[in-house]
């Protein structure tokens, strides 16, 4: 797939906007982001995910200097600690020579491999479950590696990156959705192509819960095309992405647009806002958790009002708390990294003192966190030590 020919004019459009609106500020007035924010082995980046009505109006502003974006009313719904590991600890490390880092995406056991140099962070690909829902653990290598970031980053930068993935697997491990189509198949393969355009089009300050930061705004547009082929003798490889004009799997071309608000000190992006296809709604916001959720102290609000016993616990716990008003309550079990593991309870409750007994899921013994959300807002969070006989 080719990027539309109009895309390389992004820098020209930004420049014309500056002239038309009379910007006279010098480029030196904005921050520069160097490679000191690149991740290294042992880093843990702390993120929260949240929502804020009307966020599209806060972040989708025209290009330019001296802007103010305010997402300070974000309400956290869940958390993620992104841990960067030695790539040699990964099961597929031999397939990614030159990798510098390994991490697991949010709520996933997939292994993503990065190459970090003095000027770039490159996504080399991953090993894990395929994105098509076939249930296969496969190797997905980006050729060449796809650029995630670069240094130095300055206002008016424009970067383009392209990559392709070609992953084949034998017919005996293919799921029925594929085998039923071509019973005589020898093998199948998944083809993915990426085209990514990133423009640093604005500078200013971004406010999130816990602080306000000087930022550069990166608008990133990614085109991702996915197809499936089958190999049948003596014809060779045949595209079977559509049969009879019907799409069988989540294939075809998707376009995604994100705004990344970057700071020259924080390794975490201050905020990453994902837009819908029409670019008129923010569908999710991932932002820097200024107070990490996995420190040595419990981080629940009004923690003394949230009782959990026994603790340590083996098979069940009793929770007691007070609701100031009726709310949709969800009680969640998190692991130490902030990854959501199980929803223990989900129901609408009246205001007042609440006492409830909850069975614990079958998990490995260890330290966990129990969080309580009311109407989607995290109200309480406390540690729980689970042991087994």
pLDDT tens, residue by residue, 270-292: 999 999 989 999 999 999 988 64
What are the strands of the beta sheet with 316-323, ordered from one edge?
307-309, 316-323, 352-359
Q: Inform me whether the pLDDT recorded for 238 exceeds 80.
A: yes
- Is pLDDT larger for residue 264 or for residue 8? 264
Give the pLDDT band (50/70/90) at residue 123.
Answer: very high
| Beta-carbon count within 10 A of 127 CB | 21
pLDDT at 298: 38
Mean pLDDT over each residue of the chain, to the nearest integer: 86
Decide if pLDDT at 339 tops 80.
no
pLDDT at residue 258, rounded to an integer = 97
pLDDT, residue 247, reads: 62
- pLDDT at position 246 is 56
Average confidence (pLDDT) over 158-169: 98
User: What domains appear along the chain, each with residue ranges and CATH number?
Assistant: 7-288 (no CATH), 303-386 (2.60.40.10)
* Residue 336 per-residue DSSP state: T
Q: What is the pTM of this model?
A: 0.73
- Distance separating alpha carbons of residues 206 and 68, to the nearest angstrom: 6
For 33-42, 303-312, 360-369, which range has the lowest pLDDT when averaged over its residues?
A: 303-312
Q: Which of 15-19, 46-50, 286-290, 352-356 has the lowest mean pLDDT?
A: 15-19
**Confidence tier at 29 by pLDDT (50, 70, 90):** low
The larger pLDDT score, comparing residue 346 to residue 22, is at 346
φ, ψ for residue 258 (rounded to 5)? -135, 150
Q: Measured at the alpha carbon of residue 45, what is the angle toward residues 42 and 50, in degrees to the nearest 5?
A: 160
Q: Is the peptide bond before 58 cis (omega within 30 degrees of 0)?
A: no
pLDDT exceeds cutoff 80 at 179: yes
| pLDDT of 13 strictly over 80 | no
Distance CA 83, CA 350 (A): 39
Lowest mean pLDDT among 110-124, 197-211, 248-262: 248-262
pLDDT of 28: 44
Cis peptide before 269 (omega within 30 of 0): no
Residue 102: which pLDDT band, with cuts at 50, 70 and 90?
very high
Handedness of CA 76, 80, 81, 84 (dihedral sign): negative
């Amino acid at each position: 797939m080719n990027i539309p020919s109009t895309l390389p004019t992004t820098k020209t459009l930004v420049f014309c906007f500056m002239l038309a609106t009379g910007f006279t500020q010098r480029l030196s007035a904005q921050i520069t982001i160097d490679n000191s924010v690149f991740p290294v082995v042992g880093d843990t980046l702390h993120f929260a995910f949240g929502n804020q009505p009307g966020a599209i109006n806060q972040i989708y502003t025209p290009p330019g200097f001296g802007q103010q974006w305010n997402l300070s009313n974000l309400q956290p719904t869940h958390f993620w600690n992104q841990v960067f590991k030695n790539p040699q600890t990964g099961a597929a490390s031999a397939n990614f020579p030159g990798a510098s880092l390994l991490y697991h995406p949010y709520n996933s056991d997939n292994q993503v491999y990065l190459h970090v140099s003095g000027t770039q962070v490159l996504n080399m690909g991953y090993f894990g479950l395929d994105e098509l829902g076939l249930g296969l653990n496969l190797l997905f290598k980006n050729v060449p590696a796809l650029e995630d970031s670069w240094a130095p980053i300055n206002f008016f930068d424009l970067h383009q990156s392209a990559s392709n993935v070609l992953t084949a697997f034998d017919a005996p491990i293919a799921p029925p959705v594929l085998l039923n189509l071509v019973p005589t198949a020898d093998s199948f393969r998944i083809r993915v192509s990426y085209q990514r355009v990133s423009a640093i089009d604005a500078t200013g300050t971004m406010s999130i819960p816990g602080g306000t930061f000087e930022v550069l705004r990166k608008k990133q547009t990614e085109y991702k095309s996915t197809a499936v082929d089958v190999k049948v003798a003596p014809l060779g490889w045949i595209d079977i992405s559509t049969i009879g004009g019907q799409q069988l799997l989540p294939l075809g071309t998707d376009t995604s647009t994100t705004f990344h608000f970057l700071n020259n000190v924080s390794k975490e992006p201050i905020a990453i806002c994902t837009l819908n296809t029409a670019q008129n709604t923010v569908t999710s916001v991932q932002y820097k958790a200024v107070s990490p959720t996995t420190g040595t102290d419990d981080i629940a609000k009004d923690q003394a009002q949230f009782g959990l016993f026994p603790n340590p616990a083996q098979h069940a716990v009793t929770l007691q708390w007070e609701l100031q008003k009726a709310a949709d309550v969800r009680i969640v079990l998190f692991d130490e990294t902030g990854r959501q593991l199980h929803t223990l309870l989900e129901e609408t409750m009246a205001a007042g003192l609440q006492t409830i007994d909850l069975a614990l899921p079958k998990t490995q013994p260890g330290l966990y966190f129990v969080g309580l959300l009311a109407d989607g807002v995290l109200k309480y969070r406390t540690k729980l030590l689970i042991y087994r006989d």
